[in-house]
Amino acid sequence: MKTKLLHVRANVSNLNRSISWYEEMLGFKVTALWPPEKPNYAHFEIDQGAIFSIMEHEKVPSNGRFNFYVSDVDSLWEKIKDKVEIVEELFDTPYGSRKFTIRDLDGNELGFVQE
């Protein structure tokens, strides 16, 4: 069976605070908010990947890890390492990749892997 993952979501406790964090810390850009009259859900623009979104929800963290493949993991690490909660520092994996993992404001794990 062929499958394709198109959308993932992390739960957050405060939508506006989290939007600011994802934009400022990681450079993500909001492309949609829902519902229009009182948003509790935001989509972010990410080149050539699954849609990543956050939703204000009582169940935080989402208890998963979201791995983002980036073109320059070393530069991103240097930019944010002193500003975030680190789960795994930048390292070379035994299977040939280079990555690090952080937590967002609500404890969701975000991995960044060299593309």
Q: Flag whether pLDDT at 46 surpasses 90.
A: no
Q: Work out how many domains the chain is built from and give that number.
A: 1
pLDDT digits (tens, 9 = 90+) for 25-39: 999 999 999 999 999
Residue 46 lies in a domain: yes
Residue 2 lies in a domain: no
pLDDT digits (tens, 9 = 90+) for 7-16: 999 999 999 9
| Stated length of the chain | 115
Q: Does the pTM exceed 0.85?
A: yes
Which CATH number characterizes residue 76's domain? 3.10.180.10
pLDDT tier for residue 50 given thresholds of 50, 70 and 90:
confident
Q: What does each C-alpha distance from 106 to 10, 37, 62, 63 come to in angstroms?
A: 9, 25, 9, 10
